[in-house]
Amino acid sequence: MRLFVSIDLPDDFAAEVEQVQAQFADATGLNFTDPEQAHVTLKFLGDVNQGELPRVKNAVRRAIEKSGVEPFETTYEGVGVFPDIGYIKVLWLGVGEGSEQMTDLHETIEREVTRLGFDPEDHDFTPHVTLARMEHAGGKELVQENVEELDPTVGTTEVTEVRLTESVLTDEGPEYSTVESFALE
């Protein structure tokens, strides 16, 4: 199973996410994500054997409890790129309010799953929703201009759970399904 830990955007945010993506539609080289699957990845786990699943679930549950993060408001807003504006690999939607809680969740999940043998992240965590991946630099200038000029707000919502999500790669793109949901209390 190919797994990651996520906070999913509400279904009714898909149209707003798509509107943000539309601002970049003329930029060649971008491969857009499905707005109906928009999420913040707290930790990418990768391939996990079915037999390890109970340990992974327990580690995520333990991490959420240790984090002390209760349900919180979050605002999805702004756009940016990774790794930097000069060399773009990912176009993303940012997190304003709520980013501190997401970072706390990421850090406790990171600690718990690395104890199970998962690799630690090799970069700083920035809460974000991936909007597109840049496959070639044909539309780089348009992306750069839009990132500098646009400051969209998709919306504010309450985060009440974290999900362990399975990603199945298909010819049409990844398909996500929830393995387990963990309530914030």
Model confidence at 172, pLDDT cuts 50, 70, 90, reads: confident
Q: For the segment 93-141, what is each residue's pLDDT rounded down to a tens digit?
A: 999 999 999 999 999 999 999 999 999 998 999 999 999 999 999 999 9
128 catalytic per annotation = yes
CB-count burial class (<10 Å; 0-12, 13-18, 19+) for 126: middle
DSSP per-residue codes, 41-77: EEEEEEE--GGGHHHHHHHHHHHHHHHTPPSEEEEEE
Q: What is the mean pLDDT of residues 46-66?
A: 97
Residue 15 dihedral angles phi and psi, to the nearest 5°: -65, -40
Closest CA to 39 of 183, 119, 159: 159
- Name the amino acid, one letter, at 3: L
Model confidence at 173, pLDDT cuts 50, 70, 90, reads: confident
- What percent of the chain is modeled with pLDDT above 90? 96
Choosing from 39, 106, 123, 136, which is the catalytic residue?
Answer: 39
123 catalytic per annotation = no
pLDDT for 9 equals: 98
Q: How far apart are CA 63 and CA 131, in angstroms?
A: 27
pLDDT for 144 equals: 97
Mean per-residue pLDDT over the chain, rounded? 96
